[in-house]
Structure 1
Amino acid sequence: MVVPRGSRAHPTILAIVKAIAERHGAQLTLDKSERLGGLAATGRFL
C-alpha cells in the first residue's frame, strides 16, 4: 500500500492493515516510497 505524497494515510486504514498483519503473524513496516513518493506499508508474512 502506498499513500501518495501530499495526502494523508487515514489512521483507520493503517490500523486495519496492522490488525490484519498481526492476526496472520506478519510484520508490518512503514517507510517512505522512493519510487512512488509518499508512505509505503509493507507486510512480511513469517
Structure 2
Amino acid sequence: MQQGKEAAEGLNFGIVYLMLTPFAVGGYIFYRWWKSEKADKKAAGKS
C-alpha cells in the first residue's frame, strides 16, 4: 500500500507542476503588458 501512496504523491506533484507553469508564463506576460500600458498612459499624459 505504501508504494501506491508514493506514486499518488508523485502524480499530484506532476499535476501541480504542469498547472503552475502556464500560470507563471501568463502572469509574466500580463505583468509586462500592464507595465507597458502604464508607461504608455504616463507618456501620453506628459505630451
When the two structures are superposed, what TM-score results if normalisation uses the length of structure 2?
0.34
Q: Write 1 or 2 for the structure with the bigger share of strand.
A: 1
Q: How high is the TM-score relative to the length of structure 1?
A: 0.35
Structure with higher Rg: it is 2
Q: Could you say which structure has the higher helix fraction?
A: 2
